[in-house]
Amino acid sequence: MKLTHTTHSPGFSKLIEEVFGNYSTTNSLSETNSATPLANIYEKEESHKIELVLPGFNKEEIKIELKDSLLTVSTEKHPTELHSDEKLIRKEFTSSSLSRSFRLPKLVDIENIDAKHENGILSIVIPKKEEEIKKNKLIEIA
């Protein structure tokens, strides 16, 4: 079963769908300990930015893949092995994985996507192509 919780106005949903395609703000956990990380999506004149909450994962455990126009962030974590002098008394967590995909707009510069992971937050900056950047221009009337 999957629960969906949306906290933004319908107009905002339509805008996000136009920019990023169909997405949902779900945070679900299944029997396999697979979850959908929470995300913030920002837009500037020259770029888009996606921030994902990935607590407890280091950058070597995070995979960012772009296939066609689908950007997918995934992680997988396995519990640490016991040392020979350790005895497990209680086990409350096992392997876990996270995955979230975003459909990117057509006019983005995929060659210059940049990612940074700091303090459990993954930030992905997706530059817009020059054609997409709107320039202000004063048009004179003849």
Hey, where are the domains in the chain?
30-80+92-127
Across the beta sheet with 62-67, what order do the strands follow?
A: 34-35, 96-103, 70-77, 62-67
Tens of pLDDT along the chain (142 residues) come to 344 444 445 555 555 555 555 544 443 333 345 578 999 999 999 999 999 999 888 889 999 999 988 999 999 877 777 777 888 777 777 777 889 999 998 889 999 999 999 999 999 999 998 776 666 666 676 5
Instruction: Reply yes or no on domain 30-80+92-127 having CATH 2.60.120.560.
Output: no
User: In terms of DSSP bridges, do strands 96-103 and 70-77 run parallel, antiparallel, or are they unpaired?
Assistant: antiparallel
Contact present, 25 and 4 (Cβ < 8 Å): yes
Write down the pTM of the prediction.
0.66
User: In terms of DSSP bridges, do strands 114-118 and 39-43 run parallel, antiparallel, or are they unpaired?
Assistant: unpaired
Beta strands in 9-80 (DSSP E): 34-35, 39-43, 47-53, 62-67, 70-77
